[in-house]
Amino acid sequence: MSERLVVNIGPSHPSTHGVCRIVVELDGEIVTHAEPIIGHLHRGIEKMAENRTYLQIVPLTDRLDYVGSMYANWAYCRAVERLAGIRVPERAEYIRVIVCELQRIASHMMGIGSAAADTGAFTVFMYAFEQRELVVDLFEALCGSRLTYNYVRPGGVSADLPDGWVDRCRTFIKGHPDAMREIDRMLFGNVIFRARTKGIGVLDAADAVAWGASGPVARGSGVDYDLRRDDPYSMYPRFDFTVPLGERGDSYDRARVRLWECVESCRIVEQALDQLAEYEPGVIMTEGLPRLLAPGRGDAYDHIESARGCLGVYLVSDGGVCPYRMKVRSPAFSNLALLPLLATGHTLSDLIVVLGSLDPVFGEVDR
């Protein structure tokens, strides 16, 4: 046995997708062990929630998955609504679906772009970010923020769609699938990228289920599970969409599933915009909600399909104006746990590719 070299990647490193430290044990260039050390971005959001009112917690959830703030907003609001028995107006539900599908596109553009940048294809990163910018511009017009939206609120959404927004959104979803096909040719058709990602970090379906993987990571391995279809919530039963699946469960499939999910998201947004036209503008908040929500004693859990997988929020109330306990079930955390399993036996370069294909966001991992 040759001598092992221990390399410390991070916490400040170009491709840890946030602040993560990975202690890697190398035999030459081969990874014999990789240990992600998390907690550098721990802010105690779940604990802070215990001292804030239900409405004050929404901006905290923005800071969980800061690449996809809308999801955490929505998952939290659904848990509150279940806890307090609030019925949300249908128009607000449609708007939530639209912004969250757009958020999926924005988040996946970050995921694909950084997976490309991890292999050195920085140009693809810029192309993906152009698409992300278009979505973020839409969000800015909607709620004034580009990263932490604080848009979905218990009982509805904070603002109705501004004038002309629907047309801008339609223009975007019309052009987006073509941009995805371009990235497909540019990145997924590239011989070097294929050699770098195919057969790297193979996750079989049984392992994906056993380790609690969800979202594109599980679907890349062929696990046909998507909460939007399999545990339908909000308006999703009214839409026609397919769930893209990978076959081999390698880094290539995980990244490519994200690409086709974006195209499917465009389809959902288009249908949602069509159906939204039948609803009266302005009805975006439940009538008669008290300023200070105080749900009765009890607990509630609800989950949604975020860009990273099954994002759940569990709330316990003791009858007060602040929750007694909040717990977030983070898909990024479960997916990141796969890193040692997937990267061992590959080279150091592959470790970075595998990490990129898991697409972790450390705000959500560390919370």
Partner 1 sequence: MSLLLGFAYGLAAVGLIAGGAVIGVWWERKVAGRIQLRLGPQQLGPAGVFQMLADVPKLLFKEDIVPYGADRPTFRYAPMLVFAPIAASVAVVPFWAGWAPLDSVVGVAFFLAVPSVAVLGMLLSAWASHNTLSTIGGMRAAAQMVSYEVPRTLAVLSVVVLAGSLQPTEITGAWRWWWVPLTAVGFLVYLIASVAEMNRGPFDLPEAESELVAGYFADYSGFRWAIFMMAEYGSMIAAALFGTALFLGGPAWFAGVGGLIAYVGVACVIITAIMWAKWTFPRMRQDHLMTFCWTVLTPLALVQLLVAGAVAVWL
118 binds partner 1 (CB under 8 A): yes
* Cα-Cα-Cα-Cα dihedral sign, residues 358, 361, 362, 365: negative
Q: Do residues 53 and 47 lie in contact, with contact meaning Cβ atoms separated by under 8 Å?
A: no
Element (H, E) at 117: helix 90-118
Q: Which is nearer to partner 1, 15 or 145 (CB)?
A: 15
23 binds partner 1 (CB under 8 A): no
DSSP string, 156-181: EESSPPPTTHHHHHHHHHHHHHHHHH
172 binds partner 1 (CB under 8 A): no
x/- track of binding to partner 1 for residues 196-225 (CB under 8 A): x-----------------------------
179 binds partner 1 (CB under 8 A): no
Least Cβ distance, residue 357 to partner 1 (angstroms): 13
Interaction with partner 1 in 45-104: which residues (CB under 8 A)?
none
Q: Count Cβ atoms within 10 A of the Cβ of residue 48 and give its class: 0-12 exposed, 13-18 middle, 19 or more buried.
A: middle
Structure tokens at 134: 């278009």
With CB under 8 A as the contact rule, which of the stretches 34-42, 84-92, 184-192, 224-232 interacts with partner 1? 184-192
Can you tell me which residue has the tokens 């721990």? Answer: 42
Q: Which is nearer to partner 1, 6 or 277 (CB)?
A: 6
126 binds partner 1 (CB under 8 A): yes
> What is the CB neighbour count within 10 angstroms for residue 188?
17
7 binds partner 1 (CB under 8 A): yes
DSSP string, 198-257: TTSS---HHHHHHTT--THHHHHTT----HHHHS--TTGGGS-------SS-SHHHHHHH
Chosen residue from 147, 195, 294, 341 binding partner 1 by CB under 8 A: 195
347 binds partner 1 (CB under 8 A): yes
Residue type, 358: L
362: nearest Cα among 106, 79, 45, 48: 45
Counting residues that bind partner 1 (by CB under 8 A) gives 32
Least Cβ distance, residue 41 to partner 1 (angstroms): 20
Q: Which is nearer to partner 1, 80 or 355 (CB)?
A: 355
Q: Which is nearer to partner 1, 196 or 228 (CB)?
A: 196
Task: Please report, as ranges, the residues that interact with partner 1 according to CB under 8 A.
Answer: 5-8, 13-15, 26, 29, 116-123, 126-127, 130, 187, 190, 192-193, 195-196, 347-352
